[in-house]
A and B are shown apart, each in its own frame.
Chain A
Amino acid sequence: MNRLNFFKIHLVKPFWLRFIIFIIVGLPLFSNFPALFISQILSKFFNPEFALIISYPLISFFIWLFCLPSLGLNKFLDYMSAAFLMALTTVITSSLLQNLFPFIFMENAYAASVRLLRLYFNVLAVFPWSLTFINSFSPDSIINALTQLRTPFREAGLHFALALRVFQHVGTVVSKLLLIWKERYPSLLVMRHTGENKKLKFIFAWVRWLAYSVIDWVYASIILTFEPIPAMVNEFEILSERNKKNDFSEK
């Protein structure tokens, strides 16, 4: 057996144990406990303020280590790039706002910096942690378990299973639309044909195009989401009726 499998959280069984491990590992993200504890230990070697500051990246590093084996390097790096983008945007715009409206944020510069630094590392850790969490529970097995429920929960189970399947379907619709969009507009956020427009005219055209694109996306995603619903509903109705017949014949 691959030794690394031991560290892959999504392979832990039963599922409730996996859930508890996730909560315990994620606890530092939502509490002060380990940060303060670590900073107390580190303060023996460093300045106490510096010790508190370096406790945040240490916690983030621990969370990354936890997520990495389960996600694999490529997916982990994908998630990290999104996390870095989100963390940087949040922190940079936050500090800009802080400087623009100092009368609203009556916070001293040092406290604000520490808060933003903590926020920065928090976003960097929360993002991969929450995605690993979601990725570690199989919707397929939940759906199968729900459809196997016995009366009187059977009908409710079928409704939950249908709801989950619709959620999954929306995921596939979005990826399909992205592929279509990429063929039509390879740069994704800029139209393919820009003509000979001058700068100002181009900006107007681009804003208009962007607005229409959002509308097109909304409608296309609704239509493609709704498209298989009648067939899906029909299947569940048949399943429900067959269940009822079986229950009746068992009685």
Chain B
Amino acid sequence: MSSKFYQKEIRKMTSQKSKFAQTALISALAALTAVTTIMVRVPIPATNGYFNIGDVFIILAGLWLGPKAGLIVGAVGSSVADAVGFPVYIPATFAVKGLEGLVAGLPIKKTVAALLAAIVMVAGYYVFEAFIYPMLGNRIPMFAITTPEAALIALLPNAVQGIAGAVGGLALWHSIANKK
């Protein structure tokens, strides 16, 4: 099924169904993102962050429900997870994961969108960890938790996380959303 056709289908779907259905679906995916992120946490010591598999649901939300839903699921779901134990990362996560979901929902080929979303996530965290947090850290000590060198090390686990999220998100999209 072409992506244009699919976007049309989604528009049709949301216009027919009440907005409550959309709200429920988006919050369900955001909650699942938060829960999976909290449940499977592997610390990345270099940046004081952690590896997780919540990206699967962010990419699924983008692919299935479009960019707006992807943005909300990524930003809210992951930030809620960060609130438990890693509140310092909330600003970065809100921006990066939100962007990841938004990109996953772009009206382009699904595989490309998912991979692009993963790249955006890896690059986004690198920018925050290598430049923005150290810069902010000079003024506000709570942000002084990472350095450009550490951000370089975190590229590898972040890339693994991104690829796992993209593959998992695509697989889920095929088995959930691609049903008619």
Contacts and interface: CB of A to CB of B under 8 A. Distances in A.
Do A and B touch, yes or no (CB under 8 Å, in the complex)? yes
Interface of A: 29-32, 83, 86, 89-91, 93-97, 101, 104-106, 119, 123, 126-127, 130-131, 133-134, 158-159, 162-164, 166-167, 169-171, 174, 214, 218-219, 221-222, 225-226, 229, 232-233, 236-237, 240
16 contacts: A30-B142, A83-B85, A94-B46, A95-B45, A105-B150, A119-B145, A130-B83, A130-B85, A162-B20, A162-B23, A166-B28, A170-B34, A219-B175, A226-B25, A229-B28, A233-B21
Interface SS of B by simple majority: helix
Contacts of B34: 167, 170
A90 B43 contact: yes
A32 B141 contact: yes
B50 to A, nearest CB: 8
Instruction: Give chain B's interface residue range (CB within 8 Å of chain A).
Output: 35 or more
Nearest to B86: A126
B171 to A, nearest CB: 9
A237 B56 contact: no
B7 interface: no
B13 interface: no
B159 interface: no
Contacts of A221: 32, 35-36
B1 interface: no
A90 B150 CA distance: 14
A242 B31 CA distance: 28
Interface in B136-180: 140-142, 145, 149-150, 152-153, 168, 172, 175-176
Contacts of A32: 141
A86 B43 contact: yes
A97 B21 contact: no
Contacts of A29: 142
B24 A97 contact: no
Contacts of A166: 24, 27-28, 31
Interface string B26-57: 11101110111001010101101000010010
Contacts of B172: 218, 222
B119 to A, nearest CB: 23
A173 to B, nearest CB: 9
Given A104-B152, A105-B149, A225-B28, A159 B43 contact: no
Contacts of A130: 83-85, 87
